[in-house]
């Protein structure tokens, strides 16, 4: 009796071709996945900054100044969670959010990327009284247009 070739399984060459194809897909897909995650983290930070601007407006309505909203009553530094909202832990794992400047008539908030987020092409995010986001890549280059989304 002759044995059927279909019962013998895969040859080593066929198996290695499959491994190479999976490897190539992994090399292409993983960086795209990481960029997708960084983009999502950036969107979360931008949302947190918008919420914080609303909190700063409420603080000014109560105190007639933006100054003094940072921890310890300071004008700059980490926002005081007793006076303003508590920052989302997910955002603080990827960004250091601070009040960059505050006085009677204006303020500037900043989110500096940390950890895996440091590779984000948009870099540091700032927002001021006018609500416009500004981006400063950590390598000193100009932020790409994709940051404006």
Query: Residue 37: what pLDDT?
Result: 93
Query: Residue 127: what pLDDT?
Result: 95
Per run of 10 residues, the mean pLDDT along the chain (length 149 residues) is: 62 91 89 90 94 94 94 91 89 94 94 92 91 87 80
Query: Residue 130: what pLDDT?
Result: 85
Residue written as token pair 């909202």: 85
Single out the residue of 48, 47, 69 nearest to residue 58, CA to CA.
69
Query: Residue 122: what pLDDT?
Result: 92
Query: Residue 145: what pLDDT?
Result: 84
CB 69 within 8 A of CB 84: yes
133-136, strands of its sheet edge to edge: 95-102, 107-113, 124-128, 133-136
CB 66 within 8 A of CB 57: no
Query: Residue 11: what pLDDT?
Result: 87
Query: Residue 107: what pLDDT?
Result: 94
How far apart are the C-alpha atoms of 67 and 135, rounded to whole Å? 24
Query: Residue 44: what pLDDT?
Result: 94
Here the tokens at position 147 are: 């940051």
């Amino acid at each position: 009796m002759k044995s059927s070739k279909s019962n013998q399984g895969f040859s080593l060459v066929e198996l290695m071709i499959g491994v190479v194809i999976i490897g190539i897909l992994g090399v292409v897909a993983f960086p795209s996945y990481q960029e997708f995650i960084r983009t999502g983290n950036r969107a979360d930070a931008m949302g947190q900054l918008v919420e914080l601007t609303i909190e700063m407006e409420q603080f000014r309505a109560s105190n007639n100044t933006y100054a003094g909203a940072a921890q310890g009553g300071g004008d700059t530094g980490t926002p005081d969670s007793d006076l303003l909202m508590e920052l989302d832990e997910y955002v603080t794992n990827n960004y250091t959010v601070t009040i960059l400047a505050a006085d009677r008539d204006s303020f500037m908030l900043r989110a500096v990327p940390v950890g895996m987020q440091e590779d984000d092409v948009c870099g540091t995010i700032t927002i001021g009284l006018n609500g416009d986001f500004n981006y400063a890549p950590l390598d000193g280059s100009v932020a790409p247009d994709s940051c404006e989304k």
